Amino acid sequence: MRSEFKLLTGAMVMLSLSTSALVVVPYLQVRDTAPAEGLKPYTSAQLRGRAVYIANGCVYCHTQQPRAKGFGPDLARGWGRATVAADYAYDRPHLLGTMRTGPDLMNIGVRQPSEQWHLGHLYQPRAYVPGSIMPSYPFLFELKSSDQVTADEVQVQLPPGQNALGKVVVARPEAMDLVRYLQSLDRSYPVSPEMSQQGGRP
């Protein structure tokens, strides 16, 4: 009985220490972090697109946290500087991600600013990145005859050979919102060395 009590006590102490180190201390360090200068709040369209991003599981294959130069070749890959806490001030929930089946997307709005590129890539990724294993998202689009496309709809300009015969690809509102969100991912503004050292706190 006495050894069981010691085991239980030791387990509770270890749980308390790990919770403090991994949850409480980081929370106290970044809870009052102000948005970085240059970071803009999401628009309503971008927030809707963020919800589409979450609903379709994009976070399972893409991170949003470029690493510092000493921790990996992210900067050499063109993914941008290492992020700081202030870069995520408007993110709820945070979409840091844990896997990189695909590239990091924190600065995809800088690397690929084209609306048409994003739309086409969502419709048929392999038409833009040969060998890509990213799934296509045809349910975010409609196939229409050219005379059915209205003035307020966006027609996707696909590479030759990718259009359905006699049809054009039109982006649904969900696709447009998702592209607005992807285009908003731009953390290319500079941050001070102090923010980098203090996790983004001003």
CB atoms < 10 A from the CB of 81, how many? 20
Residue-wise pLDDT for 164-187, tens only, equals 677 899 999 999 999 999 999 999
What is the domain-level CATH number for residue 188? 1.10.760.10
100 and 185 inside one domain? yes
Query: Does residue 147 belong to any structural domain of this protein?
Result: no
Domain that holds residue 56: 44-134+176-197
Residue-wise pLDDT for 131-177, tens only, equals 999 999 999 999 998 889 899 999 999 888 777 677 899 999 999 99
183 and 85 inside one domain? yes
59 and 17 inside one domain? no
26 and 65 inside one domain? no
Query: Does residue 165 belong to any structural domain of this protein?
Result: no
8 A C-beta contact, residue 38 and residue 169:
no
- Model-level pTM greater than 0.85? no
Residue-wise pLDDT for 88-103, tens only, equals 999 999 899 989 999 9
